[in-house]
Amino acid sequence: MEQWLKKLRKGYGKKLVSLHFWNAWIVVILAVTGLMLVGGFWREILGIGRVWLKWLHIIVGLAMLAPVVYYLILASKHWKQLRNKPWQKVNTIIVLVLLVGWLISGLVLWQFKLVGPKWSNAALLTHDLLTWLGLPYIIYHSITRTKWLKDSTRRTVSATTPTKDIHGTADSLDTSGENTAAAISTPSSNRTTATKSPDQPQKPEPVYTRRAFIRSAVGVGLAVTLGPTFVSWVGRNLSIDNSIDSMLENDPNRMSPLPQPAAASSPPIGGGAEGHFRVYTVTPIPSFSNENWSFRIDGLVERAQVWNWEQFVKLARTVQVSDFHCVTGWSVYKNTWEGIPLKHLLTQAGVKPGAHSVKFYSGDGVYTDAITMDQAQMDDIMVAVMHDGKPIPADLGGPVRLVIPQMYAYKSVKWLNRIELIASEHIGYWEERGYDKDAWLTGAAQLLPNISS
């Protein structure tokens, strides 16, 4: 083992430089793909390409394991080169924490169905935090390094002549570049530049310069981060107050009268939602008023139903408490929803024998999804009009949205305004783009043994 490690560490300097090169490109690819996956703007533009982009992000993220492990093998030697250089040690630790943190949190998000919503929710927050703190740091670090890499005396080392560090300790530089990284890391004022004899031409060791890489990477990074993805993320996820109350204060919906909460909703019997909703949408958020809003049930029903807003808010409502889980990894727990159970609406309309699926339409005019008639018999599927005793703001899919607690939230159609019973199955918006047709949460089949997942 010792001989194997010695052989692996041979040419340490060149290998460390190569690791920086590959790791830099991995970080850039992950940053660009990750930011595009977050933004609603890119969701609409990419379509099915978003699923391919997600897999690219996962594969490249897994590839990051290779340079991290390889560096750990070289770390003991590198650490010796950084003796009495505390800031370079701190930088190394920060970069390692970022890379390992991204890797572990990314693995948890990748396997979110196995680890459960609590772990995936924590992993998503960690992943985002590391991204928005780590990217500026890495870009800054790379730009500052580029400045001193322009100095040729800092980019060349001797192939044979020993040098001395600031403490006078001799280090022999071999042709494999053992001390390349040390020569690069040491400021010229603290280092003796190695020289060859006059009859031997100097042949500088090729050292990776990040100039071209930084020029392109920073350009791409700024284009993405200063574009719609970054603006949307900051505005909707990093706002100081992203509570339901703040959303309602700026709610573009103008519905009258407002629904009045039942006793079980105010105060909410669930104690109030725990967590924060992230606003994802494939279209601009629509707005509604009494004049342009209606709700209908049609298709294979005995009695088609149409309500305006004044009629709809008078329908009898029930209250339930449930958790809300997004397929991207975040969750909001203990939501108190108030609305009409889907089963009640279907019973009122009368289901014809040929009905196979229940299709849901969003008021954005684009998004649709569906469940089977058997799945529609679940007691906790609700056409919700209130959340924690308050109207549902447009940002969260109001004035009316679907809630299917035992499935991931892409099934819970926002801005719901139509339910149609159809004779065949329907492939929803995200299912067309690679998502599972059945969006069961882990354990849903155990809660409902008569439904196969």
Q: Is the pLDDT of residue 157 over 50?
A: no
d(CA 100, CA 27): 12
Q: Using one digit for the tens of pLDDT, what is the confidence trace for 108-124?
A: 888 876 777 678 778 88
The full DSSP string for 243-300 is: SHHHHHHT---B-SSPPPPPTTTTTTTT-S-BS------SSPPP--BTTT--EEEEES
What's the rounded mean pLDDT across residues 237-254? Answer: 75
d(CA 321, CA 390): 14
User: What's the confidence (pLDDT) of residue 131?
Assistant: 82
For the chain, domain boundaries: 2-164+172-190+206-231, 241-447
Mapped to the 3 state alphabet, what secondary structure does 183-251 carry?
Answer: HHHCCHHHCCCCCCCCCCCCCCCCCCCCHHHHHHHHHHHHHHHCCHHHHHHHHHHCCCCCCHHHHHHCC
Q: Using one digit for the tens of pLDDT, what is the confidence trace for 205-222?
A: 444 455 555 555 655 555
Instruction: Please tell me which residue, 29 or 183, carries the higher pLDDT value.
Output: 29
Q: Is the pLDDT of residue 25 over 50?
A: yes
pTM exceeds 0.85 = no
User: What's the confidence (pLDDT) of residue 226?
Assistant: 47
User: What's the confidence (pLDDT) of residue 79?
Assistant: 80
Kindly state the percentage of the chain with pLDDT values over 90.
35
What's the rounded mean pLDDT across residues 124-128? Answer: 84
Instruction: Please tell me which residue, 253 or 223, carries the higher pLDDT value.
Output: 253
Q: Using one digit for the tens of pLDDT, what is the confidence trace for 277-315?
A: 888 888 889 999 999 999 999 999 999 999 999 999 999
d(CA 360, CA 304): 15
Distances from the Cα of 297 to the Cαs of 130, 256, 371, in angstroms?
A: 46, 22, 15
Q: How many CB atoms lie within 10 A of CB 152?
A: 8
d(CA 70, CA 14): 13
Considering only 50-54, 94-98, 135-139, which range has the smallest mean pLDDT? Answer: 135-139
Token digits of residue 216: 């392109």
User: What's the confidence (pLDDT) of residue 168?
Assistant: 37
As a CATH number, domain 241-447 is 3.90.420.10
Considering only 22-31, 62-71, 236-245, 324-333, which range has the smallest mean pLDDT? Answer: 236-245
Instruction: Please tell me which residue, 67 or 157, carries the higher pLDDT value.
Output: 67
